[in-house]
Structure formats: structure tokens, C-alpha cells
Structure 1
């Protein structure tokens, strides 16, 4: 099984978790091609050592970032590494005729041999509709630029796929002379104004040449699924879970939800769990958002404590008042009893 992913040094540990989940659920020989521009020999050795108990061969493919840095937009959301997949066609050895690209923020939760070995029938690649089926038609696209560019190609049918899980038909791409220049020409068509950068370009270049796979099975966006009411038990049914939002299971200053437990379960089975857990705990203790939230909870607790104390004081006053009223009632009862006795005596004398 040929796998590719792109990473930088900050994502080494999370790449190991992704590959660990892949190996656990797919006990076959795996060649994992790591697209990067900054990993050191020590980083590569660390990844290999962390996965030594599995039948996986780590193959680093170092890319000169200058090839992209002057040609493509980069920001905090989209790193230079996200473009590296565009070079897959001619970076791979001739023996590779297909390869499954996986983002590093993915968990492979089941056997995916059916996906990997699927018949592509002349398609350039196989991928799933973006964002759990949202935003896949021309009308649903977020950006006017996307609607302009894809309006030249698309009708009313869903077409827009997510680039985080893609099965590449390398033979088809070589036969059709797909190269970096193919993508650069597409970038020029867009005037470099792509909201989703490489994903827009892949959808543009391969429009009409995609075999669509079940997103619920092979590319479940976990936060969107959670927002739609899915529980951890529902997400467990997916073969591939994609923690695609900016809120990652391992980040501290973000929203967390129960489906993330699946990611942490695989992290715990990796050889680097203690490192990831320590980093997470350290981050939590230093997180300014957490401090603010803790201060808020303390303030709320003090407010609630004062409210409870006030309520207890009110209850105590009420108890005292009731006790006094009860004493008055008892005294009145005694007077009434005396009057009744006197009245009986008067009746008898008559």
C-alpha cells in the first residue's frame, strides 16, 4: 500500500499518530512517502523508530520550497507543505501506479484496502465530497471567485471534493502529462485568487475526472458531524475520520468534543503518547484562554456561593419566624383549652 502525506517539523508527532492508526488497521506492507522541505535526518530517524513495530517503510521526499514559495499564496491556515502533493506525479518511483494521499490530521479507523484497491475506470483520482456534503455544488460554494471559475465548468450537480483524502491514479496522470506546470497554468487562470488554494486547483484541473467515494465512510469531518448531532459511537463507523477544522484534538486553546476521544485512543497506542500528553498538559497550564475561563468559573462559584449563603440566611430567618409563630400558636391553643374547660364547668353548674 502506497501512502503519501505532507508535513513540517511541527506535525511530526501527529503524523506518527496518523500512521500508527493506519498500520493498526491495515496489517499489510506500507510504503509511506513523506513530502517535506525541512525535516532533518534526526526527524526521519525518530519517525522510523516510533513505527518500528509495524511493516511500514518511511520514504522521505524532500522538496525545494523555492519551487512554490514565489508562485503560490501561503498563510497561517495553508502552509507551503499543502502544495507538495501537486508534485507527486514525478516524485514517485516508476513502480508506483497509485497512491493514497492522507492529511496528517486524519485517523484511519478501519481496514481501507477496499478504498485503496478500487477500480478507477480511467478516473484521475478518487475523493469524497467536501465538508460532509456541504458546499459541493456551484450554488453552495462560499466564494464569488469559486463560483466564477467553476461556473465555466459545472452545472447543478455536486462536484467539489475535499483534498485531504485522495487516491491518485498515477498511471493516468503520467499518460495525460500532468505536471507541476499543469497546476501553475491553473493558478494563472485563477490569477492566484483561490480561497481554498491547492484544493481549488485540484478541483479545477481534475473537474469531470473524479470518482466519488462515500464521505461518511472515507472522509468524515468530525466537528461538522458532531455539530450535526453525531456521537462518538456514530463516528466509530467511519473508516477515515478527518479532524479538519482549526480545532485539533491536540490543541489547547480550542473547542473540544467527544469524537476527539477516538484520536486520543490511537495516540495512546503510539510510542509517543507520553510526549503528546505532556505537551498537551503543559499547553493547558499555560493557555491564557484556560486561565480566563478558570477565573470566570471561580467568579461564578463565588457568586453562586454568596447566593447560596443568602438563601441559607433567608431560610434560617424563616425557620426562626416559623418557630416563633409555632410558639404563639401553642400559647393560643393553651388559652383555648383553658376556655373550653371553663365553659364546660359553667355548663355543668347550670
Structure 2
């Protein structure tokens, strides 16, 4: 059985992707074949070689360049800035996986800031029926009134606790093609230019609403200072601002460093941690305040998901 796994990265995310891939390789079964594809627009020859050289007898690591024409409708404009801070085209690449790889009817997607603690085949083999994809509801939302307000007032999703995080995805890629997801995405982004705190994630939640299979929380355990660590997480996802290469006391940080200590980028990662100052850490926390400002501005926009859904069906 061949299991396709995808990452989307920018060049500077190579060290984190390398550690994530190593964690995945550490838990593979010799009975399966794994094909890991990293979607990029540009990457240095050195980084490409280091990632592809991670391949083993049954794990094949490849770098795939995204066609510029596919992402042309996605502009470097304010509404497409991730959480209102910066623009990175790579966050949108995952949406194109079903179209770019028609040979697969199912596929796994992982953010580069993840650690895999089990055979990813276990996730791939989950039966999600005719749902568009499977992901975990974002547990952070339950403890952040700001995001509760955003999802209810701006996205119009009720209850907001069903809003998923798309850093870990099991795609029904056949359904994405059959239902013409990407055509719907192009139509909505060009017509309404929705402003979002999480652009790609918002489109997946809205277009596929009520056709999403909710995975158990162990598949996307994220640092959250409001709740204790999830025991025996299958995948750890260092979402938002609390990265172990920036914070030495972040939840689940031990999982990252246990893998990273044997990785070629270990020294570079330790240097990043050492050079990330208290002022830098405070700025990372202050980004939550910037999210609050963006939420208030989105509520005043002419077109929000909640407003548009009153007169047009955004779902497929």
C-alpha cells in the first residue's frame, strides 16, 4: 500500500519540515510504502538535497514546484495575511493537492510544525465516508473568547467549537475533484476577497461545512496554556506562536527535541532558540492582541462569510 503524504513549505521552513519528516519516518512500517511530497514555489538547492536525501527504502521524499498560474488569483493583499501578520503563499498550497495529484483518491497533509508519534498509516486508513476531509476541531477556540466571537460573527459557524484546524488533514481527494472544490474556491476568493485571520483554513471550513469528519483530539495536539497536555498524542502540532525553537517551556516541546537531537539541523535549531529573546517572545504573545484588532475590523467589512451566507450558498 502506498500512502501519500504532503507538506507545504517555504524555504526557511526546511529545518522544521526536516524534523517532522524524521518523526514520520521513525514510525513507518516496512509493510507500507510512503511517498512524501513537499510543495514549494522556491527552495535552495542545498535544502532540496537535504530533504530528498532523507528518503529510505520505503519512504520517498520529493520536492514539487507549484505552478504559478494556479495560485495567481491569490494576491498578496491584506485579506490573505495569516492572522493579520504576514503573507505566505504556501498556506494555500494544500488546497491544490487533489487537483495536482489525480492519481490519489486519499492523501494526508501535515503542517511542517508537527511531530508524528505513530505510523501515519493509522490515520490514512480511517474511513471518513463521503466527507470531504477529516481534521480535528481546534481546541484553542473553546478557551479564546476572541476566536469564539470571530467564528460566530464573521464566519457564521455554529457552534464555533466545530471549527477545524487544517494543519493535519486526511483528504478525500476524489471528492474534492468530483465536487469541484477548487472552482468554488477561485469563485469565492475573486468575488468577495474575504478577510480572514486564517485565510486557507476559513475557505476549507466554509466550503466543506457539515461535510467534515472530526478526528479524535489526539491527532492534532496543540500547545494550549488553558488545558493540560493530551496524553499520548498521535500528532503534535505547534500551532500559532508557541514554537519549541522559540520557547523552551512550550507544551509538548519534549516531543520535538527528542527527534531534533538526531537531525542535521539540530545545531541551527538550538541556535534559534538561544537567539530568540524575551522581547521576541513578548512580541509573539502580543500577536494575539493584533488578532483582536483584526477581528474587530473584519466585523465591519461589507462582505464577511456570515453576511454572504445570508444570500448565497458558499458550500459545495
Q: What TM-score range do you get, normalising by the shorter chain?
A: 0.7 to 0.9
Q: Distance in 1 between matches of 2:52 and 2:209?
A: 37
Provide the residue aligned with 2:171 in structure 1.
Answer: 168
Q: Distance in 1 between matches of 2:158 and 2:185?
A: 23
Does residue 106 in structure 1 map to residue 108 in structure 2? no
Does residue 289 in structure 1 map to residue 290 in structure 2? no
Does residue 97 in structure 1 map to residue 86 in structure 2? no
Q: Distance in 2 between matches of 1:4 and 1:132?
A: 24
Provide the residue aligned with 2:202 in structure 1.
Answer: 200
The count of corresponding residues between Structure 1 and Structure 2 is 272
Q: 1:121 to 1:11 in 2, by over 3 A?
A: same
Q: Distance in 2 between matches of 1:261 and 1:73?
A: 33
Does residue 229 in structure 1 map to residue 228 in structure 2? yes
Residues 129 and 136 of structure 1 are in contact (CA less than 8 Å); yes or no, is this contact kept in structure 2?
no
Residues 129 and 159 of structure 1 are in contact (CA less than 8 Å); yes or no, is this contact kept in structure 2?
yes
Question: As a proportion of its length, which structure holds more helix?
Answer: 1
Provide the residue aligned with 1:117 in structure 2.
Answer: 125
What is the CA distance between 1:174 and its match in structure 2? Answer: 1.4
Q: Distance in 2 between matches of 1:282 and 1:114?
A: 33
RMSD: 3.0
Q: 2:49 aligns with which of 41, 45, 48?
A: 45
Map 1:68-79; keep pairs closer than 5 Å.
68-70=74-76, 73-74=80-81, 76-77=85-86, 79=88
1:169-224 CA-to-partner distances (Å, cap 9, x unmatched) read 01111111222x32132335653211221111110010011111111x10011x21
| TM-score normalised by length of structure 1 | 0.69
SS in structure 1 at match of 2:270: helix
| TM-score normalised by length of structure 2 | 0.76
What is the CA distance between 1:159 and its match in structure 2? Answer: 2.2
Name the structure, 1 or 2, with higher relative contact order (CA <8 Å, separation 6+): 2
Q: 1:147 aligns with which of 135, 148, 152?
A: 152
Q: Distance in 2 between matches of 1:278 and 1:149?
A: 40
Provide the residue aligned with 1:297 in structure 2.
Answer: none
SS in structure 1 at match of 2:209: coil
Q: Distance in 2 between matches of 1:156 and 1:278?
A: 42
When Rg is computed on C-alpha atoms for both structures, the one with the higher figure is 1
Q: Distance in 1 between matches of 2:159 and 2:269?
A: 47
After TM superposition, the runs of 4+ consecutive aligned structure 1 residues lying more than 6 A away are: none
Provide the residue aligned with 1:19 in structure 2.
Answer: 21
